[in-house]
A and B are shown apart, each in its own frame.
Chain A
């Protein structure tokens, strides 16, 4: 298999090749190699501090890397390039944050329609209509004119997903989208994610929701101390994890 990161080709959405990242002397990511196929749902799991957030943030270059490369639809996203080019690439990778990060000064519908208008140059009327459709899809059509501060956590996260979808990205990244939520709100966000997966969206999700992983993921990446120790389909991963640290991680989760 070639490790070149910049060949255009169809089946691979994201290819991570030999990625290294350090903060000072501390190496957070150690030679990560992995691929996400188009239409695939990958769940990244692993203990706290293992580098999951760092890894997923390198995929849309919110974090820089110190070695290796990451290709997105055949384009090396960490190659030297003009800011405008990087912005264009980024706009095609949806990202959902643990802490929602909605824009509190904009209404819900403005949150969803602003970037299509400002980044893609979509007309305000078209963007507004599209935003209302997306809000309907995440079950929040009636909240279009509310402000983020008036919504519950689960509602905010669903708006954040709609906001990311408004850019029509072929790939969505999720960094612990339900970890900041009260337990009773986790389900509503997961069900939106499930419906996305069912529609064939390519997804890379960091999550501790093992039920979601079992039901929805095509593959699980288990990461510990900056290394991917195991990649396996969920049945296999949950039934007989091969790596001792994966076994321990799963045992800890069950308690």
Chain B
């Protein structure tokens, strides 16, 4: 049994790592990592813009963004992927690579979820912080940048981590539109071996687990470092600040 795993890894490690590259497109774990990293890196700023649009006093920003967030959150990710897969080429008239379609879909989807987290973080700070910043002469954007967002985003770290982890997991759905990622490579391996699906997909699961776990680990230690810098434990306000954190994590 152990021997099976070793043999599979020995025979197919390169395919699992980089797919068909350099004879075909880059795939495998490398592509999964690139897709996840890009999706997270883009979904993060997009979610802040979406949250700001939803909190905007201008209806022409607020209404369409609210509609987009509601629709996106109410539709299974798979539907959104298939929809983008068929509609984006129609609109653009171009042959858009499936990787790009998957990336766009993930950014919109995770951006919508994350924007709710960011919005909750901003709203839960209350009016006092904004008032204080405005009274000192900061403009709306300055107040957001220097006063509101640093606090809101910090409070949101746990929720953001879980969104990022689910982004990594969601990249697997790229399989249905033939994004050459790790899942795709694993199923290629499975198709060649035919007799060892349990072993192949267990290897796949272990790799995803390690990925998600290490992201959580890194993010947690970043959070701890910030908390230490702000002298958390002796901080009398901490219980009050910790409470909303927990609720929002639970909502996810």
A residues within 8 Å of B by Cβ?
60, 62, 83-84, 87-88, 90-95, 97, 99, 101-105, 114-115, 118-120, 146-147, 149-150, 163-164, 167
Contact = CB atoms under 8 A, between A and B. Distances in A.
Interface stretch (B68-76, B145-153, B170-178, B187-195): B145-153
A119 B137 contact: yes
B138 A119 contact: yes
Contacts of A114: 146
Contact of B235 (A60, A91, A149): A149
Contacts of A88: 137
B128 A91 contact: no
A60 B128 CA distance: 15
Interface of B: 128-129, 131-140, 142, 146-147, 150-151, 154, 230-231, 234-238, 241
B129 A101 contact: yes
Nearest to B137: A91
A114 B135 CA distance: 13
Contacts, number: 79
B128 A101 contact: yes
B131 A101 contact: yes
Interface of B (DSSP majority class): helix
Nearest to B128: A101
Given A97-B131, A101-B129, A150-B235, A115 B140 contact: no
B138 A83 contact: no
A93 B135 contact: yes
27 contacts: A60-B135, A62-B131, A62-B134, A83-B139, A83-B140, A87-B134, A87-B137, A87-B139, A90-B135, A90-B136, A97-B131, A97-B132, A99-B128, A101-B131, A102-B132, A103-B132, A103-B147, A103-B151, A105-B154, A115-B138, A118-B146, A119-B138, A120-B137, A149-B230, A149-B237, A150-B234, A164-B136
Contacts of A94: 135
Contacts of B237: 104, 149
A94 B137 CA distance: 9
Please give me the 4 A-B residue pairs with the lowest Cβ-Cβ distance, nearest first.
A91-B137, A101-B132, A95-B135, A149-B235
Nearest to B131: A62
Given A83-B139, A118-B142, 19 more contacts: A62-B134, A84-B139, A87-B137, A93-B135, A97-B128, A103-B129, A103-B151, A105-B154, A105-B230, A115-B136, A115-B137, A118-B146, A119-B137, A119-B142, A120-B137, A149-B230, A149-B237, A150-B236, A164-B135
